[in-house]
Amino acid sequence: MTSRPETEQDAVTNAATPEVVANSNKRKVFVRTYGCQMNVYDSERMTDVLAPEGFEATGDLEDADLVILNTCHIREKAAEKVYSELGRIRKVKEARAKAGKDMMVGVAGCVAQAEGEEISRRAPIVDMVVGPQSYHQLPALLEKVRSGKKVVETEFDIDAKFDQLSARAARPVSKRPSAAFLTVQEGCDKFCTFCVVPYTRGAEVSRSVSQIVTEAEQMAASGVREVTLLGQNVNAYHGEAEDGATWGLGRLLRRLAEIDGLDRLRYTTSHPRDMDDDLIEAHRELKSLMPYLHLPVQSGSDKILKAMNRRHTRDEYFRLLDRIREASPDIALSGDFIVGFPGETDQDFEDTLDLIRRVEYGSAFSFKYSQRPGTPGATMDAQVPEDVKSERLAVLQALLSEQQKAFNASRKGMVCDVLLEKAGRNPGQLVGKSPWLQPVQLDAPIDLIGSIQAVEIVDIGSNSLFGRLNAGQDSDDQSVAIPTPAA
């Protein structure tokens, strides 16, 4: 499992358009999402599940009849951040009560799974606590809340969740954004010693091939051009096909590449141990599989990798990257790094810097190690002092930033296909994504949103590329391969 940078957003900004329901007296649901892309997907599905109950998404907390915090437990003090947010919500709920308006409050996601009854005890305003494998039961749980009961539902009935979500995905919906997430696998069996995911999301479970294909076909029919397959350990996917055979991620990607209108495929997050030959060959064969791979290594020290229970060495990681780059020479690599893991010496940290220099990442995420209660790492000896962690993180991030800037600069002057996704901040501006997952800004008519256009990259910003439409040119003939670093 990878650590992701903690973010938060409100589900109204990315939720699929809810189904039209007969109830004209709409109620409002406000969903705040913390953490990873899978939580974003889950929040969208929550709004889908609630739509037939008469709820529509809102971005206004004060206007909400139902508030759900969809939480993440990866980062340090995640639970305390949730309790702090609940303190602010309490004031809004009290103000609505004085105005004669009800507000139900729910906590969902991984903090809900980890904290359970403790949330209701510490925050009495919370009406229901719902684990990540139980949110498909929201309508029934809300009925219990309306009858005056406090609800805590943290069962691991993941198969039931997937069955219900797949049945809903088969129904026609209004137009969706041009890029979307699709969960294909949940849970993790790796038990890295720094990670809480096996305890909050459970063991690895994969959706069936038919469930995924049905949802992807519906997405394509409603305007989605790019799908990112999600999983805590997505390349451990082992779904059952209609003939009873077990498919890996490579074979699933090949099937999804056959869907009309689905022009781009991505997946995240992967573990080096599960990057098999068939998946690597998919990168060679599939034009729709984008040349970007997030493949966390976490550390460049064999000693620390062993302490983390990563089950691979730095040399094995190098050799794996050689095979991937041979199959897809223009691939951009992304990674995760944890500095200051217990027992990390100056030499161990230097080994990590050496690995980064040799790999040359296009992008990466990096964090100071934080002790997560219940994980083996939290009780290990030789915890690294906080000031040492901070110093090391600054050095590591400077190196990664340098590499990202160099990678972005190498795009200048090339022509590539860009999926135009939304309007930009400035009039007449659109924002899209390059094949390597970089934001691209350019001037273009708004009716091009949802299309894939050949774009010449004319300038480089700190976090974005700037381009101009290059109508009439074939981007495949103009694209420049990324030089392959020696590893």
- Which residue ranges make up the annotated binding site for [4Fe-4S] cluster? 36, 72, 110, 188, 192, 195
Three-state DSSP at 392 gives: helix
Structure tokens at 4: 């992701």
132, 108 in Cβ contact below 8 A? yes
Three-state DSSP at 179 gives: strand
**Scanning the structure block, which residue is given the tokens 């020696």?**
486
451, 463 in Cβ contact below 8 A? no
Binding-site residues, in ranges, read: 36, 72, 110, 188, 192, 195
288 vs 226, 254, 265, 460, CA distance in Å? Answer: 9, 9, 6, 25
Cα–Cα distance for residue pair 200/114, rounded to 1 Å: 6
Which residues, at least 6 apart from 217, have a Cβ–Cβ distance to it below 8 Å? 259
Helices then strands, each counted (H, E), the chain: 15, 22
Beta bridge partners of 151: 128
Burial class (CB in 10 A: 0-12, 13-18, 19+), 398: exposed
**Cα diameter, the chain:** 67
The DSSP code for 353 is H
Cα–Cα distance for residue pair 109/201, rounded to 1 Å: 9
Structure tokens at 171: 């129904």
Amino acid at 239: G
Cα–Cα distance for residue pair 136/23, rounded to 1 Å: 21
Three-state DSSP at 29 gives: strand
Beta bridge partners of 67: 30, 105
Cα–Cα distance for residue pair 467/438, rounded to 1 Å: 12
Taking the mean position of all CA atoms in its chain, how far away is CA 357?
Answer: 26
